[in-house]
């Protein structure tokens, strides 16, 4: 008789389990951030999964070997079943992480989430002042976020603050770090904008200059020293300023499975935009078939798909050719070398964007906020 734990993955498979499961419970969100990573056509996604469907996803993924769960969106708390989903995830043995703007949180809800077994909360800010926070999110949310931070701290959670960094707020790094320290944050993630989706659309406004980045790194180093032992600060340079790409999502189909609000299963947040690829829906397929056997998850697994210069590059095991979505956005070919790589024949596209970012002039195109109307208009573009 087999004594295997029911949640251990199938040992006969050479592909490991989707250790990290990210449920994008909804694309609905009261905020309208200019760097949002949700698809630009999010407004056309309807028909969110029901609570029962999400619970089935959790159960099947856990049976496959998933251990880490992210609940995100949009704003996940616009759904009233986050507590129920969290409770089931906790019962199944996931480590649960809620990624929220704070809108929709209350003291009572936090108590309920804690009772349901929520392990971790990540609260986002857009900047350190009410004016900039509210401008960048196009909503009056700064005061609410401050209250949320207090509730999170007083309910005994480690406080993890996240602030997406870009050209419009990078010069405020000092006050952002100071704000986080005053709030008693244990961790501060200064996440440099990744140029996909809405951030790609607004890239001319958001890509910092080299001088801004250098000042920011210096500020960050000073504060790291000053806050040693009290608050940890994470800061990653935007990859446009690197010579080599990142190993995106730890490698396509190796670790991460994202499920979009309508049930589309994806190897990363933005893969759905890649042309010529079909991704399965959890309403029609079991998680095991999706992970191991679907075309979408297998297309860029391993290295067999690589072209030159990646195919014969000695660094290919390290970065797996970089990000497929970035390759599509910048080189119009999801199978190309990520143009961030200095060896890519398309690297000049990145250099040109970096060059433009050194100029002080304001971009001609207006900043586009993540609004339903803009999303519908963008979806109709040829």
337 makes contact, choosing from ligand FES, ligand SF4, none, with CB < 5 to 8 Å by partner type, with: ligand SF4
Among 323, 331, 336, 350, binds ligand FES (CB under 6 A): 323
Segment near ligand SF4 (CB under 6 A); pick from 13-21, 271-279, 287-295, 338-346:
338-346
Segment near ligand FES (CB under 6 A); pick from 3-11, 18-26, 244-252, 352-360:
244-252
Residues in contact with ligand SF4, counted by CB under 6 A, come to a total of 14
Query: 284 exposed, middle or buried (CB, 10 Å; 0-12, 13-18, 19+)?
Result: exposed
Token pair 């350190």: residue: 128
Q: Determine, following the binding rule CB under 6 A, whether residue 325 of this chain makes contact with ligand FES.
A: yes
Q: Determine, following the binding rule CB under 6 A, whether residue 25 of this chain makes contact with ligand FES.
A: no
Contact between residue 221 and residue 233 where contact means Cβ atoms under 8 Å apart: no
Q: Determine, following the binding rule CB under 6 A, whether residue 309 of this chain makes contact with ligand SF4.
A: yes
Q: Which CB atom, from 104 or from 296, has the smaller least distance to ligand FES?
A: 296
- Report 235-264 residues binding ligand SF4 (CB under 6 A): 244-245
Whole-number Cα distances in Å, 157 to 18, 122, 160, 188: 26, 10, 9, 14
Contact between residue 122 and residue 159 where contact means Cβ atoms under 8 Å apart: no
Q: Which CB atom, from 261 or from 322, has the smaller least distance to ligand SF4?
A: 322
Q: Which CB atom, from 43 or from 306, has the smaller least distance to ligand SF4?
A: 306
- Report 165-224 residues binding ligand FES (CB under 6 A): 196
Q: Which CB atom, from 289 or from 315, has the smaller least distance to ligand SF4?
A: 315
| Least separation in angstroms between CB 167 and ligand SF4 | 26
Q: Which of 121, 116, 122 is nearest to 92 (CA)?
A: 116
Among 18, 319, 346, 357, binds ligand SF4 (CB under 6 A): 319
Q: Which CB atom, from 163 or from 271, has the smaller least distance to ligand FES?
A: 271
- Report 260-289 residues binding ligand FES (CB under 6 A): 268, 270-271
Contact between residue 95 and residue 85 where contact means Cβ atoms under 8 Å apart: no
Residues that bind ligand SF4 (CB under 6 A): 244-245, 309-310, 313, 315-316, 319, 321-322, 337-338, 341, 343
């Amino acid at each position: 008789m087999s004594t295997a734990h029911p949640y251990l993955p199938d040992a006969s498979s050479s592909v490991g389990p989707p250790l990290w499961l990210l449920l994008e419970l909804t694309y609905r969100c009261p905020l309208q951030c200019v760097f949002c990573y949700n698809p630009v056509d999010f407004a056309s996604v309807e028909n969110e999964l029901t609570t029962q469907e999400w619970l089935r996803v959790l159960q099947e993924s856990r049976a496959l070997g998933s251990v880490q769960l992210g609940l995100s969106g949009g704003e996940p708390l616009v759904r009233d079943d986050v507590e129920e989903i969290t409770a089931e995830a906790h019962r199944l043995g996931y480590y649960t992480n809620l990624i929220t703007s704070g809108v929709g949180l209350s003291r009572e809800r936090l108590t309920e989430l804690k009772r349901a077994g929520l392990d971790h909360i990540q609260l986002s800010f857009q900047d350190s002042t009410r004016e900039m926070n509210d401008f960048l999110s196009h909503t009056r949310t700064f005061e609410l976020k401050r209250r949320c931070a207090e509730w999170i701290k007083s309910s005994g959670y480690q406080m993890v603050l996240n602030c997406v960094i870009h050209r419009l707020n990078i010069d405020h790094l000092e006050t952002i770090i100071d704000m986080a320290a005053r709030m008693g944050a244990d961790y501060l993630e200064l996440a440099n904008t990744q140029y996909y989706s809405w951030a790609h659309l607004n890239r001319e406004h958001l890509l910092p200059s080299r001088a801004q980045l250098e000042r920011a790194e210096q500020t960050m180093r000073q504060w790291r020293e000053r806050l040693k032992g009290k608050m940890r600060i994470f800061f990653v340079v935007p990859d446009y300023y690197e010579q080599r790409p990142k190993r995106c999502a730890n490698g396509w189909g190796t670790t991460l499975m994202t499920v979009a609000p309508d049930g589309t299963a994806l190897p990363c947040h933005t893969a759905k935009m890649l042309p010529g690829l079909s991704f399965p829906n959890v309403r029609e397929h079991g998680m095991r078939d999706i992970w191991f056997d679907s075309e979408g998850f297998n297309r860029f697994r391993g290295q067999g798909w690589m072209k030159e210069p990646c195919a014969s590059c000695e660094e290919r095991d390290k970065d797996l050719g970089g990000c497929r979505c970035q390759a599509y956005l910048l080189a119009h070919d999801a199978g190309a070398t990520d143009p961030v790589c200095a060896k890519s024949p398309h690297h000049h596209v990145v250099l040109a964007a970096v060059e433009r970012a050194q100029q002080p002039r304001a971009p001609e195109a207006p900043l586009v906020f993540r609004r339903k109307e803009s999303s519908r208009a963008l979806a109709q573009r040829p």
